[in-house]
Amino acid sequence: MTRYMSPLTRTIDLASGTIPDAAEVQTRRLSDLEGLFADREAENALRHENPVIYRVYLAAHIPTEEGQLGYSTTVIYPGTVGGEYFMTKGHYHAVANRAEVYTCLKGRGALLLQTPEGETSVQHMTPGAAAYVPPFWGHRTVNTGAEPFAFMAVYPADAGYDYATIAEYGFAALIVERDGKPELVPNPHYQREG
């Protein structure tokens, strides 16, 4: 006999992008992103302050089994580290062929994607933009605006997270502020995988 899971609803506060009744809130400070910003001196200078870079609001604790979907919102605060915009850690999916959809709720940002071979794509995110992360692409979001940038993510609950590959090789490109505008530049620390 099929055991039915109960349907559920969470409310996203569209003014802030938060989920007030979230099952879990993850707070990521600069120290949680150690070594991910390209300018290590600028990172060191901010170490004492250790600002909150972003928060993830997990709608519900969905079972991490095939067929289920996880969903969450992420709010990235405005700011830069050595000119590089505040961003998420970024990840590949542990089950690499799993896709994901990001829908922008608030603010202005960019979705930076790359293949394991280092091909890069940038998707611009303003409210209403619904971006597709295809299977196998690593993905990171960046706040390129002056206010909090919020988006909703929907993903296969069994996708999991591979942060280690990003920690080891980094992203091939960075998004930095130049004359008040975002610009894509090569990451001097990037190593091709393999």
Residues that bind ligand M6P (CB under 6 A): 56, 72, 74, 88-91, 100, 153, 155, 161
CB of 140: closest distance to ligand M6P in angstroms? 6
CB of 121: closest distance to Zn ion in angstroms? 15
Candidates 33-41, 64-72, 96-104, 170-178: pick the segment binding Zn ion (CB under 5 A): 96-104
Among candidate residues 69, 75, 70, 94, the one with its CA nearest the CA of residue 26: 75
Q: Which residues contact 175 (CB under 8 A, 6 or more apart)?
A: 84, 85, 87, 110, 112, 122, 142, 144, 182, 183, 184, 185
Give dist(CA 69, CA 63) in Å, integer: 9
CB of 153: closest distance to ligand M6P in angstroms? 4
Q: Where are the alpha helices (DSSP H) in the chain?
A: 40-46, 164-169
Candidates 1-9, 20-28, 36-44, 94-102: pick the segment binding Zn ion (CB under 5 A): 94-102
Cβ proximity to ligand M6P: between 91 and 108 the closer is: 91
158 binds Zn ion (CB under 5 A): no
How far from 112 is each of 9, 159, 171, CA to CA, in Å?
30, 19, 9
User: Running DSSP on this structure, what letter comes out for residue 129?
Assistant: -
Strand partners, 103: 130, 152
Cβ proximity to ligand M6P: between 26 and 126 the closer is: 26
100 binds Zn ion (CB under 5 A): yes
CB of 92: closest distance to ligand M6P in angstroms? 10
Q: What are phi and psi of 145, to 5 degrees?
A: -115, -175
Contact map string, positions 41 to 80, toward Zn ion, x by CB under 5 A: ----------------------------------------
Residue ranges binding Zn ion (CB under 5 A): 100
